[in-house]
Each structure stands twice: as structure tokens, then as C-alpha cells.
Amino acid sequence: MAFKAKILTIFPEIFPGFLGYSLTGKALNEGIWQLETVNIRDYAFDKHGSVDDTPCGGGAGMIMRPDVLGEAIEHNYNGGKIIYMSPKGKPLTQQKVHELSREDNLTIICGRFEGIDERVIEEYNIEEISIGDYILTGGEQAAMIMLDAIVRLLPNVLGNSASTENESFEGDLLEYPQYTRPTEWKGRKVPDVLMSGHHENVAKWQREQALQITKERRPDLLEKILDSK
């Protein structure tokens, strides 16, 4: 069964956007995954398509109404997890991406304005996922990033499926530096060991580099490994 993503948004025209290109676009054309958008405004109760209202208790901005969003969910849900892209959510990690890539159906709610009414999250047992500690203008961008990461893990999407194995976050370390030809450029040479044809030495060098880079840039990742052992 193909992986299916249903997106609830007030800007359906944003999709597929960059997901229509390259590996994710090819996979979409081949039917390896399916994308459906639902315009939340189609479920509004007035002719203006109002989906938001002012926050109870005061404060800046607008909140997406639970009744309109609820209608959109109930008319379109057909199984699987419901996810709300949210800065308050669980951080999206590569591990989480793997988990989500094993689902058949995801319904993804994209917030706008100051977000959505909390009762919707409770009523439909929605999982909140954040793509990072910063605030975007909308959940569409976050949903597309999450889907990009998921789709590239689906079977038959990456030509050489071994190519994910050594990537950053796949093991416990960041990726080692990579080079291609020309072997010398602006006086900078590709490290000799990589041109030696000695596979063991290459692997050893790559492991050392990965460790060094992780130590320098993401000591938190190393601490996590030590904690888990």
C-alpha cells in the first residue's frame, strides 16, 4: 500500500511545492506515495470562509476555530495518525521520521495565525510535532519538510538505498566530510586516504572524522550515546 498524506490547510495551492521535484516528485508520479489536500475554508460556516477568531482571554493574533477544523477533520479522516505541526510538539528527529515512514496514512493539520484551538487536539487525539525551536508563519512549511524526510525513506525512493546508512543522525554521529573530483581544486587536495583504495583505512578515517565533527559541533549527540549505554 502506498504511503498517503492528507493535508488540512488554508493554502492548498502551496502543495506539492518542492515535494513535486527530484526524488520526492518522481516518487509522487510513480505512486509510491500520495498527497491529497483539503481546504479548511471549504468547511467554514459563512460565505467568507472564516476559519479563525480572536483568542479567549485576550492576546495578540487569531486562533483557528475548533468547529470549522473539526468539520474538516471529520469529513476527510480515513484512519491513521492525525498530526498537528506545532512548535509545542515533540521534536522531529530522524528516528521519528523512520517511525512515520512505516505508517500507511497520515492526516496533517497545518496551523496559521497563532495556531489552533486546544480542544481540537484533545478531541481527536492529535499528535503535535515540531520541526525545530523557532516559529514559522504556518504549518505548511513544516509539513513539507517532514514529508520530504519521510518520503525519501520509503522503499524504492532513493536509488541506492545504502546511501542513507552513513548519513548524519542515522548512526549516532554526524556524517564525515565528502569529496568528489577534481582531486585537487584551488590548491586543496582530497585527503590521500580516500584515494588509496584501501577500504579499511577509508572506513577508519571516516569514523574518526565523524567522531571529531560530532564532538566539535554536537556534543549533545555524544552525551546521548553515553547516556544510553
Shortest Cβ distance from residue 45 to ligand SAH (Å)?
A: 21
> Smallest distance from the beta carbon of 199 to ligand SAH, in angstroms?
41
Q: Binding residue for ligand SAH (CB under 6 A) from 35, 62, 136, 202? A: 136
Q: What angle do CA 173, 179, 180 make, to 5 degrees?
A: 145
Instruction: Give min distance, CB of 86 to ligand SAH, in A.
Output: 5
CA distance 216 to 222: 10
Q: Does 173 bind ligand SAH (CB under 6 A)?
A: no
Determine, following the binding rule CB under 6 A, whether residue 134 of this chain makes contact with ligand SAH. Answer: yes
Q: HSE-up of 137 (CA within 13 Å, CB side)?
A: 2
Cβ-based nearer residue to ligand SAH, 106 or 142: 142
Q: How far is the CB of 219 from ligand SAH (least distance, A)?
A: 23
Using the contact rule CB under 6 A, the part of the chain among 15-23, 95-103, 111-119, 183-191 near ligand SAH is 111-119
88 binds ligand SAH per the rule CB under 6 A: yes
Which residue from 27, 40, 69, 85 is in contact with ligand SAH, where contact means CB under 6 A?
Answer: 85
> How far out from the chain centre does Cα 112 lie?
18
CB of 72 to ligand SAH, least distance (A): 14
CB closest to ligand SAH, residue no: 111
Give whichever of 69 and 194 is closer to ligand SAH, judged by the CB atom: 69
Q: Which residues bind ligand SAH (CB under 6 A)?
A: 85-88, 110-112, 114-115, 130-132, 134-136, 138-139, 142
